[in-house]
């Protein structure tokens, strides 16, 4: 069955209208900056209770009945790997705390604001700028503003290829971040530019989420503002935990709050010059190879070198394509087509050798039947190898899901680019170091990152 991976929560095409005006972060001196840290509560959403459970070996089981209705048409792989961050917005009577989706691929934080044309469900009710004394609209004259706007206010549109579309006006507001994500705010940040969304379509709020916390590397993202406007430590970090763990939440940590983890590997963030691409706000990293069970895959016949297949390049139509980015808002990893097929073939060969026959299942490209406990112990890992030699090892528990008695490959095929999604990031700590232009990572039991709080 052909699956249209464009329907996945894939390409976070960000701020097409703002993008051309933004400058790339000049983040190359690598010097640590002063400034305290803080940690925000990171909460998973997506009906983990009803649609999935994790067995003793750490494998995810999708409840077929629930999964079928929960999966959007033509998506394979589990949904529900959406993480949100509690963010307090506004002052006075307008002050509210909202859960915003963690998104590192876009630089604009946005949320629903009254008046709303076709509201999506959220808790608490949408932000009302009229009753927050600290709210102001960003002027048309601001350098953040782009494109003709009939009124004096600065309008914006944000689009992702998964169909999420949001538009409204840019606002300027005081945000507060509570260390424990609770009501008592610790850190207030004034002058945060965010999207006050009056029209949104395609956004899955799970009935709760109010919008998106954009931690992309460009203005006006929170991390950009911290580093460039407040001269603070330009690092943030998270460690995503999967379902079936006792934790109810983890933390999105900033600056000095990031734990010192030994033996971290790192890879450089690619700062691309061609900033007219609408998706340059994302963190692109350089993948040069991929292995299955530690055996490097070779390029498909007649194709370019592996590293070139993963490289971001300009297509004849003038658009930028390919490349590899890392994004916790994308549920599962998508791999660029020619490489995906080689990967699929290698996984099939490895697993059938364990005695598990290939079986057909709707919504998945590769499933195996007759799984036995003995076979699980020999399922392969997949390693993405980065330019500087570091490799991200994805364990079988993050590669396969159980659908009834069968196991299916949860990594999917992409026509446009490679994206390291949330499920494959589980149980690895990632530190995004914007000043040093590095992403560092190391395996960790993420359910242990509870910060001593509940
Ligand atoms: C999910 O399970 C936890 C306990 O494991 C429970 O506290 C929580 O209320 C459940 N949530 C739903 C939506 O059923
Ligand atoms: C946001 O408001 C603050 C004052 O509270 C101001 O200093 C800052 O320039 C404003 N930012 C933008 C982009 O309008």
- 18-32, 47-61, 159-173, 201-215: which has the highest mean pLDDT? 201-215
| Ligand 2 atom 3 nearest Cα | 191
* Pocket lining: 138 vs ligand 2, CB cutoff 6 Å: yes
Question: Which whole number is the average pLDDT over 299-303?
Answer: 87
Give distance in angstroms: CA of 191 to centre of ligand 2.
5
What span, in angstroms and rounded, lies between the C-alpha atoms of 184 and 361? 49
Percent of the chain with pLDDT over 90: 47
Count of other CB atoms within 10 angstroms of residue 158: 26
Ligand having the closest approach to the CA of 170: 2
How many A from CA of 47 to the centre of ligand 1?
9
Instruction: Answer whether 178's CB lies under 8 Å from 254's CB.
Output: no
pLDDT in tens, 255-298: 888 999 889 999 999 876 554 555 578 899 999 999 999 999 99
Give yes or no for residue 126 having a pLDDT over 80: yes
Helix (H) or strand (E) run with residue 398 in it? helix 396-399
247 within ligand 2 shell (Cβ under 6 A): no
Kindly state if the Cβ of 225 falls inside 6 Å of ligand 2.
Answer: no
Mean pLDDT of 14-26: 26
Is the CB–ligand 2 distance for residue 91 below 6 Å? no
pLDDT at site 403:
87
Ligand 2 atom index nearest CA of 172: 1
Query: Residue 27 above 50 pLDDT?
Result: no
Q: How many residues does the chain have?
A: 454
> Ligand 1 centroid vs 243 CA: distance in angstroms?
11
Q: Which of these, 213, 133, 228, lies nearest to 181 by C-alpha position? A: 213
Counting ligand 2 atoms within 8 A of each CB, the residue from 142, 172, 222 with the most, and so the one to mutate, is 172
Residue whose C-alpha is closest to residue 381's, from 358, 365, 405, 397? 397
Question: Span 154-163, mean pLDDT?
Answer: 82
Can you tell me which atom of ligand 2 is nearest the CA of 138? 14
Closest residue by Cα to atom 6, ligand 2, is 191
Cα–Cα distances (Å) from 95 to 130, 176, 208, 272, 409, in that order, read 11, 9, 17, 38, 44
State pLDDT tens for residues 127-139. Answer: 999 999 999 999 9
Q: Which atom of ligand 2 lies closest to the CA of 139?
A: 14
Q: What is the pTM assigned to this prediction?
A: 0.85
Task: Pick from 169, 174, 191, 218 the residue to mutate for probing ligand 2's pocket: most ligand atoms within 8 Å of its CB.
Answer: 191
pLDDT at 348 over 50: yes
Neighbouring C-beta atoms of residue 265, cutoff 10 Å: 18
Residue minimizing CA distance to atom 9 of ligand 2:
191
Residue 95 Cα, ligand 1 centroid: separation in angstroms? 28
Going from the Cα of 138 to the center of ligand 2, the distance in angstroms, rounded, reads: 8
Nearest CA to ligand 2 atom 12: 138
Given this model, what pLDDT does residue 277 score?
A: 56
In this structure, which residue's CA is closest to atom 2 in ligand 2? 191
The pLDDT score that the predictor gives to residue 411 is: 93
Instruction: Name the residue with the closest Cα to ligand 2, atom 8.
Output: 191
Confidence of residue 317 (pLDDT cuts 50, 70, 90): confident
Nearest listed ligand to the Cα of residue 49: 1
Residue 145: nearest ligand to its CA? 2
> How many whole angstroms from 309 Cα to the centroid of ligand 1?
43
Q: What integer is the mean pLDDT of 15-26?
A: 26
Cα–Cα separations (whole angstroms), residue 78 to 74, 331, 408: 12, 7, 11
Q: What confidence tens digit (pLDDT) does each residue in 140-158 have?
A: 888 888 766 667 789 988 8
Q: Which atom of ligand 2 is nearest to the CA of 174?
A: 5
What pLDDT does 36 receive?
A: 67
If you take atom 7 of ligand 2, which residue's CA is the nearest one? 191
On whether the CB atoms of residues 332 and 408 are closer than 8 A, the answer is no
Which domains, and CATH codes, for the chain? 5-257 (2.40.70.10), 265-452 (2.40.70.10)
């Amino acid at each position: 069955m052909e699956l249209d991976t464009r329907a996945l929560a894939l390409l976070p095409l960000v701020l097409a209208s703002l993008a051309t005006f933004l400058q790339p972060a000049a983040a190359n001196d690598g010097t640590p900056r002063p400034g305290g840290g803080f940690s925000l509560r990171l909460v998973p959403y997506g009906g983990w209770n009803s649609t999935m459970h994790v067995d003793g070996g750490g494998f995810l089981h999708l409840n077929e009945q629930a999964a079928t209705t929960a999966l959007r048409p033509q998506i394979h792989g589990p949904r529900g790997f959406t993480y949100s961050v509690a963010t307090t917005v506004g002052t006075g009577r307008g002050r509210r705390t909202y859960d915003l989706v963690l998104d590192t691929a876009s630089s604009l934080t946005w949320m629903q604001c009254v008046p709303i044309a076709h509201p999506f469900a959220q808790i608490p009710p949408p932000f009302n700028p009229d009753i927050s004394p600290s709210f102001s609209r960003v002027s048309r004259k601001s350098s953040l503003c782009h494109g003709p706007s009939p009124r004096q206010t600065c309008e914006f549109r944000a689009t992702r290829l998964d169909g999420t579309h949001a538009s409204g006006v840019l606002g300027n507001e005081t945000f507060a971040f509570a260390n424990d994500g609770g009501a008592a705010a610790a850190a207030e940040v004034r002058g945060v530019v965010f999207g006050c969304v009056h029209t949104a379509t395609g956004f899955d709020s799970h009935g709760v989420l109010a919008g998106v916390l954009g931690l992309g590397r460009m203005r006006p993202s929170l991390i950009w503002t911290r580093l460039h406007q407040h001269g603070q430590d330009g690092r943030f970090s998270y460690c995503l935990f999967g379902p079936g763990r006792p934790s109810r939440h983890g933390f999105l940590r900033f600056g000095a709050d990031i734990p010192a983890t030994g033996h971290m590997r790192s890879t450089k963030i690619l700062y691309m010059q061609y900033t007219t691409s609408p998706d340059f706000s994302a963190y692109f990293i350089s993948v040069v190879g991929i292995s299955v069970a530690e055996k490097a895959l070779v390029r498909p016949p007649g194709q370019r070198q592996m590293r070139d297949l993963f490289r971001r390049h300009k297509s004849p139509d003038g658009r930028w394509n390919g490349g590899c980015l890392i994004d916790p808002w994308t549920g599962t990893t998508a791999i660029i087509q020619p490489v995906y097929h080689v990967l699929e073939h290698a996984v099939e060969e490895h697993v059938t050798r364990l005695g598990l026959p290939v079986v057909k299942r709707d919504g998945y490209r590769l499933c195996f039947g007759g799984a036995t406990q003995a076979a699980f112990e020999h399922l392969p890992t997949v390693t993405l190898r980065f330019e500087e030699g570091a490799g991200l090892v994805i364990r079988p528990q993050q590669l396969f899901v159980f659908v009834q008695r069968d196991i299916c490959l949860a990594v999917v095929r992409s026509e446009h680019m490679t994206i390291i999604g949330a499920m494959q990031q589980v149980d690895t700590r990632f530190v995004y170091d914007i000043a040093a232009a590095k992403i560092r990572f190391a395996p960790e039991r993420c359910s242990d990152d509870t910060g001593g709080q509940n």
